[in-house]
Amino acid sequence: MIKKLLLSCGLFTILTTASPSAMAVIQLPDYLRPDNLPESTAAEAISEDHPETAATQTLILYVGNLVSQVLLFMGSIAVIFIILAGANYILAFGKDERIERGKRGIFWSLMGLITILFSYAIVQGVISVILQVDSSTG
């Protein structure tokens, strides 16, 4: 039972992190986009005026996306550990050692997940601040 649960969670994690559509930002189809949006993006406008600024912003966005993907993978691993610790807790059948091991596993998995969420928020905040400072100095 535990092996099937672990295999299912692992397969789900691999499929969701491996497929690019699962990690893509939600985008509106063209027929739902408002007509008043500009055709060019801010990065294209900056690249015409200051190509070095556009290269810097592209590098920052690339590194930020890479770190975000790593944190997403780590978060999914933490969720798997929470599920496994919960299964260990449920299937303890009154054995005190297994109950304590399940409680500790849930606690530390939640602490890891909270740390990962805070790390993601910090990375996104730093990237947005750097991009704002970088675009205002150009």
* Two tokens, residue 36: 């008043």
State the amino acid at position 84 in one-letter form. Answer: L
Beta strands in the chain (DSSP E): none
**pLDDT on residue 45:** 47
The predicted structure's pLDDT at residue 66: 86
Q: How many C-alpha atoms does 28 have within 13 Å on its Cβ side?
A: 7
pLDDT in tens, the chain (138 residues): 667 766 776 766 666 665 555 444 555 566 666 666 555 454 454 455 555 566 777 787 888 888 888 888 999 999 999 999 999 999 998 899 999 999 999 999 999 999 999 998 998 888 888 877 655 555
- Residue closest to 105 by CA, chosen among 80, 90, 85, 91: 85
Check: pTM over 0.75? Answer yes or no.
no
What is the structure's pLDDT at 97? 94
Query: Can you give the pLDDT at residue 9?
Result: 67
Angle between helices 96-137 and 51-90 (to 10 degrees): 170
- C-alpha span between 15 and 40 (Å, rounded): 33
Q: How far is CA 86 from CA 2, 41, 51, in A?
A: 11, 46, 52
